[in-house]
Amino acid sequence: MTSHSDPFQRPEVGPVRRLAVLGAGPVGLDAALAARDAGFALRVYEAGPHPAAHVRQWGHVRLFSPWSMNLSDRMREGLTAIDRPLEVDPDVSPTGSELVDRVFDPLWSTAFLSGALHIGTRVLAVGRQGTLKHEEIASTTRASRPFRILVRDETGTERTEFADLVLDCTGKFGNPNTLGDGGIPAPGERALERRIERWLPDLDREAERWTGGTTLLVGGGHSAQTAVRALDALARRSPGTRVIWAMRREDPELGADPDDPLPLRRELVAEASRIARGDSAGVEPELGVVVDALESAPDGVSVRLRRGGADVREIHADRILALTGGVGDAGIYRQLQVHECYATSGPMKLSAALLGSGGGDCLAQESHGVETLMNPEPGFFILGDKSYGRNNTFLLQVGWSQVDEVFAAIGGGAPPGPSSP
Ligand SMILES: Cc1cc2nc3c(=O)[nH]c(=O)nc-3n(C[C@H](O)[C@H](O)[C@H](O)COP(=O)(O)OP(=O)(O)OC[C@H]3O[C@@H](n4cnc5c(N)ncnc54)[C@H](O)[C@@H]3O)c2cc1C
């Protein structure tokens, strides 16, 4: 069914340019506020049943960064405008849920944003009307063609909508990496998916599910470190609960930095390093190993861990917690002219800029300018966590700057006049 009064259901441009935001996470929200201020017709597609679906998944986790860094000026002003000014200690870190409750949900419930937001609506693919990826290369014609956006709503019905500009803010949390060596699934992994948890569990609320038997935790990054700390505490107070922590790195020192300006991160890394050294009774660390294969076993999974070429250990796990990072879904823009980095899978120019800046502390990360966010595909931008590809140094405050830069470049909702560049 199409509605002719809905500009997103017609291919042709109307009196106002249409901007589609894919993903109602924190960066999608900031982009939506900027689109409203710039006078665009706005549509936001959110796959989850609520906005900020990813943040809600890890809502129990306290962010490393303090309130002062976790909301944009647009959000602050928006909250004041609806008489919900944020009165918090700017130096304290909120949990994900506190951000949702105090900032994201109140803003999404305002008339303009709630009217633009389509929840339960997953974007499956974006193309360009009347042309293919390999056609109209470096041609100005491409920009005059509307984007075609294939979406699937909560009833499973698919439809195409149209937009003049698209901001892909779908993040990477929903696209976790698999367990096997070399970044590909281990043999047996796909068949045993129901035994593998890929989200950070809330062990205060779900303790029962994780008590007793053996949990195999795989991964060494901050998410795995957060989980191991909670699992260690659970195992120490619950006899019969065993936790094995497998990671590729051999060195148990996980990068603890006494000068880390974020105290919560400093404490987490120090505590996780202590656990990785084998200094806690609750967790058995297995360092320098990869997951070689998984096999179904009575009441669980038999997991083969391999160290080096041949040294193999078989363990029995009742459940597996895989926290091995993630990368954005490139399938969405497969038919667009997006130049991806061969190493990080992020947009090429931004990846090169990040590489050039030498990684380093994520607190020092800043936006690298709108040039690095431009794609060969005109009018298509990847923003937020997804824009960092496999780099895990993205910070929300970088997202706010990306939104500023993109909106300064794309102008406002009025269609460009005949003499405009
Ligand atoms: C546990 C954890 C702790 C973190 N702590 C910090 C911190 O302290 N400070 C900090 O600055 N950053 C932190 N980050 C990193 C980062 O800032 C967050 O991941 C942040 O949520 C990224 O925001 P985003 O809007 O880019 O993406 P997301 O929050 O991932 O939002 C993407 C949205 O898009 C939706 N979506 C996905 N696919 C589709 C689709 N195909 N169609 C429609 N919608 C879709 C999702 O449901 C989701 O709502 C943390 C990340 C994690 C996982």
For the segment 196-208, what is each residue's pLDDT rounded down to a tens digit? Answer: 999 999 999 999 9
What's the CATH number where 347 sits?
A: 3.50.50.60
Asked if pLDDT for residue 220 goes beyond 50, the answer is: yes
- Per-residue pLDDT tens digits for 97-139: 999 999 999 999 999 999 999 999 999 999 999 999 999 988 8
In a domain, 128, yes or no: yes
What is the number of the ligand 1 atom nearest to the C-alpha of 52?
A: 49
Domain count, the chain: 2
Q: Which mutation among 57, 63, 113, 321 tests ligand 1's pocket best, with the greatest number of atoms within 8 A of CB? A: 63
Do 165 and 273 reside in the same domain of the chain?
no
Do 42 and 132 reside in the same domain of the chain?
yes
Do 237 and 94 reside in the same domain of the chain?
no
Do 261 and 342 reside in the same domain of the chain?
no
Range of the domain at 279: 181-322
pTM of the model: 0.95
Q: Which mutation among 62, 222, 367, 385 tests ligand 1's pocket best, with the greatest number of atoms within 8 A of CB? A: 385
Question: Does residue 62 contact residue 92 with C-beta atoms inside 8 Å?
Answer: no
In a domain, 209, yes or no: yes
Question: Does residue 219 contact residue 324 with C-beta atoms inside 8 Å?
Answer: yes
312-316: long-range contacts at Cβ-Cβ below 8 A with a sequence spacing of 24 or more?
A: 313/286, 313/289, 315/214, 315/216, 315/244, 316/214
Q: Which mutation among 99, 118, 173, 391 tests ligand 1's pocket best, with the greatest number of atoms within 8 A of CB? A: 173
Using DSSP's 3-state secondary structure scheme, residue 317 falls into strand
Q: Residue 396 C-alpha to ligand 1 middle, in angstroms?
A: 9
In a domain, 416, yes or no: no
- CB hemisphere CA count around 369 (13 angstroms): 5
Q: Residues lining ligand 1, CB < 6 A?
A: 22-28, 45-48, 52-55, 58, 61, 63-65, 122-123, 169-171, 173-174, 200, 223, 332, 384-385, 394-396, 399
Which residue, of 275, 303, 322, is where some domain finishes?
Answer: 322
In a domain, 2, yes or no: no
Do 127 and 42 reside in the same domain of the chain?
yes
Do 272 and 355 reside in the same domain of the chain?
no
Do 170 and 233 reside in the same domain of the chain?
no
Do 293 and 340 reside in the same domain of the chain?
no
> Which residue's CA is the closest to the ligand 1 atom numbered 19?
385
pLDDT at 420: 44
Q: Residue 26 C-alpha to ligand 1 middle, in angstroms?
A: 7
Which residue, of 322, 343, 360, is where some domain finishes?
Answer: 322
Do 105 and 68 reside in the same domain of the chain?
yes
- Per-residue pLDDT tens digits for 245-290: 999 999 999 987 888 888 899 999 999 999 999 999 999 999 999 9
Do 122 and 223 reside in the same domain of the chain?
no
Which residue, of 262, 293, 322, is where some domain finishes?
Answer: 322
Do 146 and 236 reside in the same domain of the chain?
no
Q: Residue 7 C-alpha to ligand 1 middle, in angstroms?
A: 28
Do 64 and 29 reside in the same domain of the chain?
yes
In a domain, 400, yes or no: yes
